[in-house]
Structure 1
Amino acid sequence: MTTSEQQHRTKRIALVTGCSSGIGKELARALNAQSDIRVYATARRLQSIRDLENEGMVILELDVTDAKSIKNCISTIKSNEGRIDILVNNAGITHYSPAIELPDKDARDIIDTNFFGLINVTNEAAKIMVDQRSGLVVQIGSVSGLVSNPFSSMYCASKAAVHAWSDALRMELAPFGVKVVIVQPGAVKSELANNAIPEMNQRLESTGTLYERIREYIVKRSTYAVDRGMPAKDFAERTINAVLRANPPAHYVTAPLSMQMRILYHLPASITDYILSYVAGLHKLAEMVRRESNEQK
């Protein structure tokens, strides 16, 4: 066996989902920077991750909402490497919309991708980790899963579900030497938010929304991560350094607004509601509605 082959066999094998842009791409790069890790970067479209292949990673097609795609991806890695040591579940989508105005299809897409997609990938990879009695599962959640924000209710719900499911998973896999870390970032600059904003603007213009009069607040809230969030590269490097520790934290929190949201999580709901409603412009809308009601009496 050559020295190159020996080095290849001693490397830990990492699988990262949702690598087409932003956070996922940078997480793959941060893992690839580790000399003892071989990275399998995945996305629905291989063309979107050709640059990662050029950087020395293995690229595979993976649609986390397709059971066959998941099985094919995991079996390919198992066949090539014989193991999976690290799984980073990053694939996700979001929609900015008033809760009762979000179309059912969009709502289901969010849950299917962010929650069931994550579950199904984890289940397949975890079976391998259990057999080898070691492994690390990293779930990219969000502080929005701790405290729900107006106009992103379904995204918040999906991340809350990820947190709850993964907390149970962490305890269940511990006897087999498999660790589970839930990453709860605050505002991070990513294509996820960039892609959702035009769609949100179109929805507000075409649906006759109840919230037309506070549109400026909704737009401002949805662009916060784009304007003031942590660069995805910085987030990825911090996160990978944290989760690769010998004893990684059960929950890892970083990026702007992360600590503030955790504080809000522990405050009485009346205070949290007041603060978030004020930021979202709902206080202004409430005043308008009261004024109109009084005028009609």
Structure 2
Amino acid sequence: MQLKGKKVLITGGSRGIGKCMIDELVKEGVRDIAVIGRDKESLKALRHSFESVNFLFVRGDVGDVIVLREMASKIEDEWGGLDILINNAGIVSAGPLDEIPDEDIYDQVAVNLTAVMVLTKYCIPLLKASEEAAILNVSSGLGLIGMPFYSVYSSVKAGVRQFSDAIRRELKPFNISVTCVYPTATDTDMMKTSKAKEMDSPEFVAERSIQGLMAKKLHVIFGGQQRLNDSKLNFESPEKLDEKIAESYEERREASLLHKAM
């Protein structure tokens, strides 16, 4: 897939991986980009960072269905169609499940999963108007392997994986490709309260993700061979992976207690 001239919608594009994805899109010749973001100043900064881009902005929380409807309507009015949808926005609230506030559970489901489904629903008619369309969904390595103290986050990111497979098969007759990416710990604002020691750069994650989109890959998995090995073990002998994870139980618990980016 060639990206030059494509019209793109991205959620969470004002910072972190999303902003780096915009940089990659611009390098590939994209000039029309719609962004949903919560922070007014960060959205304004995008215009200064990417002066060649014709931006469409909707400020708000992707967990709010009204915001999603507004974005889809704005794209239809301004562009008449859409070529690429990137579901990137995400939040996290980690820790023992019985200690996570109820509202954090609901919000993680709303932003990380429900918004992906609903925004995709609103964008499908717009994508069908394109000669060659694509969807890029950002899951997580924790969507492949459920980890203690990330039960909610792992669950919704696993949901993104299953949704990606299902909607890819549903949209196959319409020439709409679907790629799902699974970043490991990435050095963004979302990880400021994490105690993760080794992290990928957002630039690296964005570059590989956009490359995967262009190549129409089904899945882009980060974390190297170890992640692939653990995923295989998790499928074939989950009890063995349970034992391996149990060895660092207290360390994992301690590291999760302050990890929150809502």
Common topology (TM > 0.5) = yes
Distance 2:169 2:127 in 1: 15
Whole-Å Cα distance in 2 between the matches of residues 17 and 263 of structure 1? Answer: 31
Report whether the alignment pairs 1:27 with 2:57.
no
**Shift of residue 160 of structure 1?**
0.8
Look up the SS of the partner of 1:40 in the other structure: strand
Corresponding residue number in structure 1 for 2:76 = 78
| Whole-angstrom CA distance in 2 between matches of 1:244 and 1:185 | 17
Matches within 5 A, 1:155-166: 155-166=153-164
The alignment's C-alpha RMSD in Å is 2.2
State yes or no: 1:244 paired with 2:214.
yes
Q: Counterpart of 1:27 in 2: which secondary structure?
A: helix
Contact map agreement 1:185 1:255 (CA 8 A) in 2: yes
Could you tell me how far apart the structure 1 residues matched to 2:178 and 2:253 are? 42
When residues 260 and 100 of structure 1 are mapped into structure 2, their CA distance, relative to the original with a 3 A threshold, is farther
Q: Deviations over 1:204-256 (max 9, x none)?
A: xxxxxxxxxxxxxxxxxx421xx3111001110121122112xx111111246
| Alignment partner, residue 33 of structure 2 | 39
What residue is the counterpart of 2:61 in the other structure? 63
What aligned pairs does 1:219-230 form with structure 2 within 5 A after superposition?
222-224=194-196, 227-230=197-200
Matched residue, 2:232: 263
Structure 1 window deviating more from structure 2 (48-57 vs 159-168): it is 48-57
Which has the larger Rg? 1
* Distance change (3 Å), C-alpha of 1:67 and 1:187: same
Q: Would you say 1:11 and 2:9 are equivalent positions?
A: no
Partner of 2:244: 275
What pairs with 1:211-222 in structure 2 (closer than 5 Å)? 222=194
TM-aligned CA deviation for residue 181 of structure 1: 0.8
TM-score after normalising by structure 2: 0.86
For residue 49 of structure 1, what is the aligned residue in structure 2?
43
Q: Which has the higher contact order (CA 8 A, sep 6+)?
A: 2
Give how far 1:186 is off: 1.8
Q: Does 156-165 or 70-79 show the bigger shift?
A: 70-79
Per-residue CA deviation, residues 131-189 of structure 1 (Å, 9 max, x unaligned), is 44541010000120111111111000110111112211000001111111111122221
Residue 183 of structure 1 pairs with residue 152 of structure 2 = no
Q: Pick from 110, 118, 121: which aligns with 1:120?
A: 118
8 Å CA contact retained: 1:32, 1:38: no
- Could you tell me which amino acid in structure 1 is paired with residue 104 of structure 2? D
- Whether the 8 Å CA contact 1:14–1:87 is kept in 2: the answer is yes
Q: 1:223 to 1:282 in 2, by over 3 A?
A: closer
Q: Could you tell me which residue of structure 1 aligns to residue 257 of structure 2?
A: none
1:95 corresponds to: 93
User: Equivalent residue of 1:182, what SS?
Assistant: strand
Whole-angstrom CA distance in 2 between matches of 1:184 and 1:11: 27
In structure 2, the CA distance between the partners of 1:177 and 1:105, relative to structure 1 (3 Å rule), is same
CA contact (8 A) 1:28 1:41 kept: no
Partner amino acid for 2:138? I
Cα shift at 1:49:
2.2
Match of 1:232 in 2: 202
Query: How many Å separate the matches in 1 of 2:34 and 2:60?
Result: 11
CA distance in 2, matches of 1:17, 1:68: 14
Query: What letter matches 1:243 in structure 2?
Result: L
Alpha-carbon distance change, 230 to 126 in structure 1, aligned in 2, over 3 angstroms: same
**Closer/same/farther in 2, CA of residues 281 and 143 from structure 1, 3 Å limit:** same
Compare the two structures and name the one with the higher helix fraction.
1
- The alpha-carbon distance between structure 1 residues 157 and 65, as it changes in their structure 2 partners (threshold 3 A), is same
1:64: how far off? 1.1
State the shift of 1:33 in Å: 1.7
Deviation at 1:282, TM superposition (A): 7.6
